[in-house]
Amino acid sequence: CTKPQWDGRLDFPGNKTEFPEYKNQELTCTEGLKPSFPTVKCAKELQRVNSGKPKYGEVWWGKKSTSTWMRIEGGVQCLEILQVDPGTFEISSTSIKLNWTCRFPDACQGMRAMCRPAVPSSPPCEAEEVMGEEMSQGQEGTFTCSQLQPFTYYNVTIALPSNTIIYSECKRTKETVPDKPEELWLDPISGSLRWKALPSCKGDILGYQLNITARSAQDGGFLEMERLQVNGSITEHRLPEHGPGSRYVVSIRGVTAAGAGAASLWQFQSNSSDSQHPLDISCHSVHDISPSQGTAILSLRPITSDGVREHQLLVTMTHNGSVLESTCLGQPQPFRASQQPFNTSQQPFNTSQQPSTYLAAVLNLTTPMDFVLGDGTQGQGYHNAALRPGWNYTALLRLVHHSPQSEKFTCVCYSFSV
């Protein structure tokens, strides 16, 4: 019989081109592959009778290790010993898991699987070599590499005891949130906050989130809070100027596709080496208070002169400084008609019905004015509800500015008790 034109990766014994009939031939493939029929033999078969003379053709038969002889249709192919369905991969930031199926169970004895970094690691992104070994047999199984580094390429290989690699694939672990920025400083010349760029060890740095709280040294009742996100290539931000001695609290965190990481918190005072002193909260006082009417008169001034007119007047029933900061940033609840902070009938007051913070007024403020807080006027989403004797109050005049990259909340507080 003549050597058939099958898979070019097949090797016949002795590299012969002709073979005797009915003699078994053991086929092999290149490394990591197995022939679909490891053992074959040829025979002559009667095909037709032409002019009284028989015509014979060559026929090949094949046998697998556990099967009977069968006629080969379509040739012999070199097949992968191990199959891994790409759809079964489970990849996290610290692990790679795959399901495998062995086409030739006899050949899959003592397999060894491992994950190794595809490229050598270098500071600051150190990736330890992690070896996962699994001695497996049978037709299917699972292999998991754990304790891997995030956002790192690994070569996942499965090899036979002879070190023949029967599966190899390069996979990258998923991103996770970045570490917190460690190096921050204030440039005294430019007045900009600067920080050292985070490395892309745990994911591409998409940007930085900054929360800035500023208090003016000249006006303790002034509070400015800014939330913004800058591009990952930016490593500085100019701080708002509120004069010498102004105090700032800045938090900054890096952002990857997996989300924001831990924040670094920094406190400092402009033109001062004292960076640990807490921010002072000293609201404006209110003297003209009428407990019988449930009112107080606030002397309001526009917060800025940049043309923004709409000011909100928020009321919260506390003098707590941390609550004031969250109130300046927050969204007050709508005031419902059934919620009256001042009970004119002197009956027991239902504190569960009143909101802790509410919007008392929306003002088109361009010049200083005296505003009567608690006169009972109301409109869409706001209610200037009467004040209740015996309670502490803080009113915040707020200006909100939105842009595609930031939100700025500027508040002036007025503190009093009825």
Q: Indicate if 302 and 403 belong to the same structural domain.
A: yes
Strand 153-159 and strand 112-117: pairing? antiparallel
Residues contacting residue 182 through CB under 8 Å, at least 6 positions apart: 196, 264
- The count of other CB atoms within 10 Å of the CB of residue 152 is 21
Q: Indicate if 392 and 296 belong to the same structural domain.
A: yes
Residues contacting residue 66 through CB under 8 Å, at least 6 positions apart: none
Q: Indicate if 38 and 106 belong to the same structural domain.
A: no
Q: Which two tokens stand for residue 233?
A: 């290539």
Q: What angle do CA 178, 184, 189 make, to 5 degrees?
A: 145
Report yes or no on 293 lying in a domain.
Answer: yes
Look at the chain and report how many structural domains it folds into. 4
Q: Which two tokens stand for residue 4?
A: 């058939």
Q: Which domain holds residue 89?
A: 82-172
Residue 283, pLDDT score: 85
Residue 351, pLDDT score: 42
**In the listed set 172, 205, 225, which residue is the last one of a domain according to the structure?**
172
Q: Indicate if 324 and 411 belong to the same structural domain.
A: yes
Q: Indicate if 160 and 58 belong to the same structural domain.
A: no
- Which residue shows structure tokens 């595809």? 118
Q: Indicate if 213 and 302 belong to the same structural domain.
A: no
CATH classification of the domain holding 113: 2.60.40.10
Peptide bond into 124 cis (omega under 30): yes
Residue 352, pLDDT score: 42
What does the alpha-carbon distance between residue 398 and residue 225 come to, in Å, rounded to a whole number?
11
Residue 341, pLDDT score: 46
Residue 349, pLDDT score: 40
Residues contacting residue 112 through CB under 8 Å, at least 6 positions apart: 133, 134, 135, 158, 159, 160, 161
Q: Indicate if 249 and 157 belong to the same structural domain.
A: no
Q: What angle do CA 311, 316, 319 make, to 5 degrees?
A: 115
- Spans of the chain below 50 pLDDT: 273-276, 337-354
pLDDT in tens, 206-252: 999 999 888 877 776 788 888 999 999 999 998 877 667 778 889 99
Helices (H), ranges, 79-233: none
